[in-house]
Amino acid sequence: MYTEMFKSFSEQTEKTLAPYAKFNKVFAKNVEQLTELQLSAVRAYSDLGLKQLKAVSEVKDIQSLTAFNSQQLETLTKLSQQLLDDSNKFSSVAQSFKTEVEELVADNVKQATPAI
């Protein structure tokens, strides 16, 4: 008798907590993806900054200053492209998260709404 009662309680608890577990998995996956993107972005921007520091440290005369200045446009183009790419990646991850959460909500509404 008690075994059946505990089994029923366990099943009900599992059904009740299932949406929370699904949401937590989606959320954890999203945080992991965002963290990886942020680390990648920081690494790329750090590399770019270090290259700039090295390049400016090699400026010794007018010719090297002219060469450094001519490389700045290329560097700014790379930086702009990197920022645009990172923005698109972050947007994609956010859109994916939104879609998955909407699907979870729709599934839960379907399950909670009695069949008519």
**What confidence tens digit (pLDDT) does each residue in 26-70 have?**
999 999 999 999 999 999 999 999 999 999 999 899 998 999 999
Full-model pTM: 0.75
Confidence grade of residue 3 (pLDDT, cut at 50, 70, 90): confident
Nearest 5°: CA angle at 25, between 24 and 26? 90
C-alpha to C-alpha distance for 78 and 76, rounded to whole angstroms = 5
Q: How does pLDDT run across 67-85, given as a tens digit for each residue?
A: 999 999 999 999 999 999 9
Dist. CA 51–CA 112, nearest whole Å: 57
